[in-house]
Amino acid sequence: MLLALFLLAVITLATINNLNRPVNSDSERQPLVSINTDKLLWSGQEEGETVAITQNVVPTSPSKRYSLDVGLSESSKLLNGSVPLLPTLLPENTKYADVYVGPVVIIAYSSDPAADFRSSIIRFAVTLNNRGTPTTEQLNAIMRTGDELFRYGDIFGFVDPNATTGWNDGKVVIATFYIGNLHYIMTASPPVAKDDVLSVIQSMKP
């Protein structure tokens, strides 16, 4: 559990690097469209192949990579039988979906075949949430200036529209939220914007 929490923190680690990097203009944004997940490809060659990130300042445990359907089945074993919800809206150029199962489950969407999840357009890191959905006061205590709370039915969390991570060059949007007994951290790379992220979260279904 401690390893999973450590890796989840690494995945979403906010840094102060490149905060002044220009963000892509709205004209470059891809519209969100309803995606037929059955038609999404995956980047791997063999179900369960090992993917390790070696060029990173923080050591990362290898993960097993799967196609979407197989990966969801495998991820439920790590998540005590729970299956992560998936978005039904994604950027129009989304063509690939990969599931990485390790100490943390990562569901990554990209426009091209990916060497690993770092090149995704949108990704979700999913872990078990054994403490229950936090209160507004608890989230306010960990939010930074500029973060915004949101609630859509049973989905509750906050979004940081100007985050950076140790694996992305420049600004990204990060949303932290809770659905049932699962904790999600969504990372979206430019040109995906905050409003897109919130629309994607609202579209999530079993």
**pLDDT digits over 142-166, tens only?**
999 999 999 999 999 999 999 987 7
Confidence class for position 183, pLDDT limits 50, 70, 90: very high
- pLDDT number for residue 129: 93
Q: Is 27 inside any structural domain?
A: no
Q: Is 115 inside any structural domain?
A: yes
**Is pLDDT larger for residue 54 or for residue 105?**
105
Contacts of 26 (CB under 8 A, 6+ apart): 191, 193
Q: Is 55 inside any structural domain?
A: yes
CA distances (Å), origin 165, targets 134, 140, 186, 188, 196: 24, 21, 12, 11, 19
Report the mean per-residue pLDDT for the chain: 85
Alpha-carbon distance of 25 to 190, in angstroms, equals 9
Q: Is 120 inside any structural domain?
A: yes
Q: Is 25 inside any structural domain?
A: no
Residue pair 198/159 in contact by the 8 Å Cβ criterion: yes
Mean pLDDT of 9-32: 48
Q: Is 22 inside any structural domain?
A: no
pLDDT at 130 over 70: yes
Q: How many domains does the chain have?
A: 1
Q: Is 96 inside any structural domain?
A: yes
- pLDDT number for residue 18: 32
DSSP letters, 17-86, are TTTTSPPPPGGGPPPEEE--GGG-B-S-SSTTEEE---SSSS----EEEE-HHHHHHHHHHHTTT----B
**pLDDT digits over 35-88, tens only?**
888 899 999 999 999 998 776 555 568 899 999 999 999 999 999 999 999 999
- pLDDT number for residue 85: 96
Q: Is 156 inside any structural domain?
A: yes
Confidence class for position 26, pLDDT limits 50, 70, 90: very low
Residue numbers of the domain that contains 167: 2-15+32-202
Claim: this prediction has a pTM higher than 0.95: no
pLDDT at 131 over 90: no
- pLDDT number for residue 10: 45
